[in-house]
């Protein structure tokens, strides 16, 4: 976003553009993994230093916050001049957006959890099952729709909104949900 907002689009050699591509390259190398369920996950890295090779502990957990990554990949795709990189980034964005959708789709409430640990959508390895009104997935799907014009992203957003209405709506807005696995449990 910073590169786009700064008006740096005139020069693909710009420092911010290089940083963006370097970040995606590192993310692909160190954080992206495919689960036994076939979904693509973006894991966490507790970084303790290191410049050429990260030093730290990898945590096989995808945070809901990571669901914006398809959005920022979608922002960059139209500006890529390397066709191979452009195709790779688009595929990565599509697969991560789908994983985020599955975070919602596979819960009985249709509401995605704060995180998925151990690449287990049934949340059997996840220590917390709440939803705390995160916008990242919906925002990522919106950007993906704007990039691809594929209606599935709008459908995912609409389905999620309907589940918000059903499970999160309170008198003056929306409330967090304690457990996305249990549609009978109360709001926070």
If we measure between CA atoms, which residue out of 76, 62, 69 comes closest to residue 17?
76
- Angstrom CA distances, 113 to 70, 86, 133, 188, stand at 18, 30, 10, 14
If we measure between CA atoms, which residue out of 92, 126, 90 comes closest to residue 107?
126
146 catalytic residue (yes or no): no
Asked whether the beta carbons of 136 and 69 are under 8 A apart, the reply is no
Farthest-apart Cα atoms in the chain, separation: 54
Choosing from 13, 29, 95, 114, the catalytic residue is: 114
Residue 127 has phi, psi (to 5 degrees) of -85, -10
Q: Count of residues for the chain? A: 188
The set of catalytic residues is 114
């Amino acid at each position: 976003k910073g590169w786009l907002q700064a008006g740096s689009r005139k020069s693909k050699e710009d420092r911010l553009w290089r940083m963006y591509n370097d970040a995606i390259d590192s993310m692909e190398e160190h954080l992206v993994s495919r689960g036994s369920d076939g979904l693509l996950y973006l894991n966490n890295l507790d970084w303790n230093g290191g410049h050429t090779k990260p030093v730290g502990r990898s945590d096989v957990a995808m945070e809901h916050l990571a669901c914006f990554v398809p959005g920022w990949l979608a922002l960059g795709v139209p500006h890529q001049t390397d066709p191979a990189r452009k195709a790779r980034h688009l595929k990565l964005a599509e697969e991560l957006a789908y994983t985020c959708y599955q975070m919602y789709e596979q819960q009985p409430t249709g509401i995605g959890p704060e995180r998925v640990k151990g690449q287990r959508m049934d949340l059997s390895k996840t220590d917390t099952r709440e939803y705390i009104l995160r916008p990242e997935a919906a925002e990522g799907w919106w950007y993906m729709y704007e990039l691809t014009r594929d209606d599935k992203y709008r459908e995912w957003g609409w389905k999620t909104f309907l589940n918000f209405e059903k499970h999160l709506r309170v008198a003056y807005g929306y409330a967090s949900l304690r457990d996305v696995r249990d549609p009978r449990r109360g709001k926070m």
